[in-house]
Amino acid sequence: MQGWGKRMGATLADVESRRFIQNFVLASLLHEDPRYFYSGKSGLVPRAWYAATRVLVTRDDYGRDVFNQSEFLGVSLTSALQNAYYPRPDRTFDGTLNRLVETLSGDATTNILHEFTPDLKRLFHKRCPQGIQRFEARIPIPENVKP
């Protein structure tokens, strides 16, 4: 349990420090919008490409596409910060660089999932039994959650 608790604590520190540094501090200072915006394109490859490149490109406060500085700086700073509480064998330059690359590739994958999740929901909802569809229709959805 002690080892599990340490890993759980490290993961929580990773996620929360990154959210604060990247999505609050850096995005505000650099006037970037950290949210994911759907592509509006058609076709599997163009949409997947758009989603994956959002790690490199984001929107600024004026809606223009700009280099995603807050992503790169946030991931870099967080990867370096992790050296303060990760075990000594993981505090190497290679370890830090690996965490940086893993985080960026994970973000690209997450963006692809964000892009295609509405399509997958529609696909599976069509094949959903009528009883479950009627049950879902009775569940109230708050206004701020509706698509």
Percent of the chain past pLDDT 90, that is, above it, reads 23
Which residues make Cβ contacts (< 8 Å) with residue 26, sequence separation at least 6? Answer: 32, 69, 70, 73, 74
Domain boundaries, the chain: 2-145
* Each residue's pLDDT tens digit, 50-67: 999 999 999 998 889 999
Over the stretch 78-121, which tens digit does the pLDDT of each residue have? 888 888 777 787 788 888 888 889 889 999 999 999 999 888 88
Rounded to whole angstroms, the Cα distance separating 23 from 63 reads: 17
Write the CB contacts of 34 (distance below 8 Å, at least 6 apart in sequence).
22, 23, 27, 58, 70, 71
Task: Provide the angle, in degrees to the nearest 10, between the axes of the packed helices 69-81 and 93-126.
Answer: 120
49 has a pLDDT exceeding 90: yes
